[in-house]
Amino acid sequence: MVRKKLNKKNNRKAKIIIDETTYEFPIYNSTEGEAVIDISKLHAEANIFTYDPGFTSTASCESKITYIDGDKGILRYRGYDIEELAKKSDFIEVVNLLIYGDLPNKEQLTKYKRLITRHTLLHEQIINFFQGFRRDAHPMAMMVGVMGALSSFYQDTLNINDSHQRQEATRRIIAKSATIGAMAYKYSLGQAFVSPRNNLSFSENFLYMCFSNTAENYKVSPVLAKAMDTILILHADHEQNASTSTVRLAGSSGANPFACIAAGVSSLWGPAHGGANQAALEMLEEIGSSKNIKKYIAKAKNKKDPFKLMGFGHRVYKNYDPRAKILKSICLKVLKHVGVKNDPILKLAMDLEKIALNDKYFKEKRLYPNVDFYSGIILRAIGFPPEMFTVIFAIARTAGWTAQWTEMIEDPIQKIGRPRQLYTGKRVIKYGVGRSSKNTR
């Protein structure tokens, strides 16, 4: 069905010659960016698979949500440039855009904000659920666990074939992710949970739930709330990255939305993905001073050393990540607002960026700062510890995950995701032959 929707006028074909036989496959144009070769019939026709570790040359789905031009450093949600959205929209408007395909009008937005706000509270029993975690648990461990547990609390929105339930589940996931994130933070501090305040915006409310306590009411600063909101917008979606692909793959089996988003949170946690914001700040703290930069650049270039410059490099961007550019400018505003005149970590980050961007290795490999390079400095200035950085990324990304999950469920050619493999293990052997004699297991 999707083949009909894709560019019919395109007569390009790809030919694959295997041994003496030629196989032809259709090429579909995208509206922007690379075309794709449809090799879905390859195995049926030629009894062979393609091999693409890390999916560097594979489009796993058709999508209308987010467009990235990695060479030009362009990011657009539903056709809108990220810079314009960061300036003119707020997070919930961007959520609505990602999910429904176009910017809402005033009335639609007001209604949507009300619907999201109605879902910020969590079932009281979830508080008991939290008590089961160790106090020193990483807040992402709590995010993964509690997100998955929502499927046991909100059983009236588990039917993925019911559009109303899908939309309600989406709103619950987005609204409750901020409450869960704030509760994880409070739990790790040993403080009482702070209930959401529905007269506040999404970002204001998140800051309020994190920084208010029973002894002192937190007055949300508009500058910090705007910075928080921009961070959420910039992290809201990024096409078929590892966590989004995880959500799609989990969802392709028909799993419920809360379980799928929990799978996405797990994938995001890794330091090569969302966990890089925590890792980047920790790396800057480890480097400590500009005089040590050269040593760490040398480590990053040494293939025998596992060290990488965190917050640098990207699978798609071979130019400056547009999100990093926006964050760098917010960084200065936030530091000024909180009264930090000369932040040594910001200075170190800027020095490191300059040296790396002029280094042959980084130039040749086209490694630029990504979204995680400056976000940690802003979040730290707002008052968050590094363990919370990836949680904030996850809260923002619930927008993209739910939009992509919805698009997948509504795609008529959606199938269970089931990649194949290049098997290089043993051929059949008789039971017991070759039993291990070593004691190393």
Backbone angles phi, psi at 37, to 5 degrees: -95, 125
Q: Which of 123, 197, 308, 318 binds ligand CMC (CB under 6 A)?
A: 308
Q: Which of 96, 252, 370, 398 binds ligand CMC (CB under 6 A)?
A: 370
Give the integer Cα–Cα distance in Å for 51 and 137.
38
> Counting contacts by CB under 6 A, is residue 300 touching ligand CMC?
yes
Backbone angles phi, psi at 15, to 5 degrees: -115, 130
Cβ proximity to ligand CMC, 201 vs 240, nearer residue: 240
Which of 138, 238, 314, 321 is flagged as catalytic? 314
Q: In what order do the strands lie in the sheet with 74-77?
A: 66-69, 74-77, 80-81
> Counting contacts by CB under 6 A, is residue 310 touching ligand CMC?
yes
Stretch binding ligand CMC (CB under 6 A), from 100-108, 213-221, 271-279, 332-340: 271-279
> Counting contacts by CB under 6 A, is residue 220 touching ligand CMC?
no
Nearest CA to 233 out of 48, 409, 84 is that of 84
Cβ proximity to ligand CMC, 212 vs 404, nearer residue: 404
**What is the gyration radius of the CA atoms in the chain, in angstroms?**
24
Nearest CA to 42 out of 20, 7, 17, 8 is that of 17
Give the integer Cα–Cα distance in Å for 143 and 141.
5
> Counting contacts by CB under 6 A, is residue 274 touching ligand CMC?
yes
Q: Which of 127, 272, 298, 413 binds ligand CMC (CB under 6 A)?
A: 272
8 Å CB contact between 263 and 247: yes
Interface mask toward ligand CMC for 223-262; x: CB under 6 A = ------------------x---------------------
Q: How far is the CB of 182 from ligand CMC (least distance, A)?
A: 22
Give the integer Cα–Cα distance in Å for 66 and 78.
6
Cβ proximity to ligand CMC, 211 vs 368, nearer residue: 368
Give the integer Cα–Cα distance in Å for 409 and 183.
31
In 3-state terms, what secondary structure has residue 341? coil
Is 372 catalytic? The answer is: yes
Q: Which residue has its beta carbon closest to ligand CMC?
A: 313
Cβ proximity to ligand CMC, 26 vs 313, nearer residue: 313
Binding-site residue total for ligand CMC (CB under 6 A)? 20
> Counting contacts by CB under 6 A, is residue 276 touching ligand CMC?
yes
Give the integer Cα–Cα distance in Å for 172 and 81.
27
Cβ proximity to ligand CMC, 266 vs 370, nearer residue: 370
Q: Which two tokens stand for residue 102?
A: 């176009």
Backbone angles phi, psi at 201, to 5 degrees: -70, 170
Please give the helix or strand (H or E) that residue 28 lies within, else none: strand 21-28
> Counting contacts by CB under 6 A, is residue 315 touching ligand CMC?
yes
> Counting contacts by CB under 6 A, is residue 405 touching ligand CMC?
no
Cβ proximity to ligand CMC, 172 vs 323, nearer residue: 323
Nearest CA to 316 out of 79, 82, 72 is that of 72
Nearby residues of 249 by Cβ (< 8 Å), 6 or more positions away = 263, 417
> Counting contacts by CB under 6 A, is residue 313 touching ligand CMC?
yes
Q: Which of 372, 374, 394, 401 binds ligand CMC (CB under 6 A)?
A: 372
Q: Which residues bind ligand CMC (CB under 6 A)?
A: 54, 241, 272-274, 276, 300, 308-315, 365, 367, 370-372
The catalytic site residues sit at: 314, 372
